A and B are shown apart, each in its own frame.
Chain A
């Protein structure tokens, strides 16, 4: 069978209408199976990126807040440490002063005690010396009188002497 051809330029309404329908069918297929799907994926990716960015921003502001709190805390603790230090220094100074005062007091007490001891010893020594002197005087007097006094006289005599002596001392 001989193949039939259309002429090169011709109007064929069936082809025209069919091609219009073909265009719309093709348009639907391209839209549903390609454009819409790619668009959905790109939109999803953009959403994900936006979410990521906002998350990052939130994290950043949170970190900034944490940093601020930390710095505040640091500042507070530094002030506290300074305060502690000054308190400690003050108390140490007080303490050392107290210790010094106590030591001075003790030293004074010791000095006072020592001087009273010395006084006592002195008195004791004087008394002893008095006794010695009285014995000596007795002996001398005995020698002078060439006689023995009775003990009562003797004692009185000594006391007199001593009193005189004591007044003289």
Chain B
């Protein structure tokens, strides 16, 4: 079988738009707007009905989120950088929601390099601004000639590669998760069709397997042996699915539930940790550029 892994789906193409020429509206943008809607709704919901005393559970959560964000920024940058709290928070929440939206089968905007590159460019502008502000434009430009002028191209490249590496780190992790998910899904589909075509080759096989599984489950339950009980149920379910396959069902049953176990790492853990890393790098780079 063939496994195809594509980029974002192109939803609409507009030819001859002034300035841009051909404009392609992709899935990335559509889902990004969906993510924005979700986050904005969440913000409005969490930010409404706030009270000074006698707070609700919702407000307690909202305040905890706010406090941890403030602590994160202050912990990484120290005091005096409070104006970057909204930026860091926005990048973090957008990244997390974009990564996790892939869990419900929607295209992740973060699986498109342009999303991360957009954030990284904003951070790059801030880094450069702080470098120039801290050292002055003259010393900033002269810094490229350090330690000798021949290294200037390398210095320029290292400067430019900061946003590129930030973007690619995040993008690569999410993309690899998407690729692995697609591969596992394809493998499970293949395994499913192989298994159930055997079980469903005749009605008798399915019925026998189902009965054997049911018997084992009953026995395991009577004896109080958990292992046999669970094994019996699994075998019985397989028998029943075999009967369904014999009756004409082609649904790849093995893809139900099993990819979620792998997704625990590639979607949940990776999705959250990459957002965290991106924000940590943002704060550290800006702090470093400000030079105090």
Binding site for B on A (CB under 8 A): 3-20, 22-23, 25-27, 29-31, 33-35, 37-42, 44-45, 48
Contact = CB atoms under 8 A, between A and B. Distances in A.
Given A26-B90, A42-B66, A34 B20 contact: no
Interface string B112-140: 11110111011000000000000000000
A20 B121 contact: yes
Contacts of A29: 36, 39-40, 43
Given A4-B10, A33-B44, A41-B50, A23 B114 contact: no
Interface stretch (B27-35, B188-196, B201-209): B27-35
B198 interface: no
Interface in B1-43: 5-10, 13, 20, 23-26, 28-29, 32-33, 36, 39-40, 43
B28 A15 contact: yes
Contact of A16 (B9, B53, B118): B118
Nearest to B92: A30
Contact of B91 (A4, A14, A23): A23
A33 B6 CA distance: 37
A20 B66 contact: no
A15 B26 contact: yes
Interface in B24-82: 24-26, 28-29, 32-33, 36, 39-40, 43-44, 46-48, 50-53, 59, 62-63, 66-67, 69
Contacts of B89: 30, 35
A16 B52 contact: no
Contacts of B5: 8
Contacts of B51: 41
Contact of B24 (A9, A12, A30, A33): A12
A11 B9 contact: no
A37 B122 contact: no
Given A8-B7, A15-B28, 15 more contacts: A10-B113, A11-B114, A15-B26, A19-B28, A19-B32, A19-B117, A23-B122, A27-B87, A30-B39, A33-B44, A34-B46, A34-B62, A38-B62, A41-B51, A42-B66
Interface string B132-158: 000000000000000000000000000
A38 B63 contact: yes
Given A6-B26, A48-B52, A31 B86 contact: yes
A37 B50 contact: yes
Given A35-B86, A41-B52, A22 B33 contact: yes
A35 B66 contact: yes
Contact of B63 (A9, A20, A33, A42): A42
Contacts of A15: 8, 26, 28-29, 112, 114-115, 118
Nearest to B119: A23
Contact of A5 (B7, B52, B53, B66): B7
B219 to A, nearest CB: 51
B175 interface: yes
Contacts of B28: 15, 19
Contact of B53 (A4, A40, A45): A45
B52 A22 contact: no
Given A5-B6, A29-B40, A44-B52, A19 B24 contact: no
Question: Chain B CB within 10 Å — which of A8, A15, A17, A37 has the most?
Answer: A15
Given A23-B94, A33-B47, A37-B47, A6 B7 contact: yes
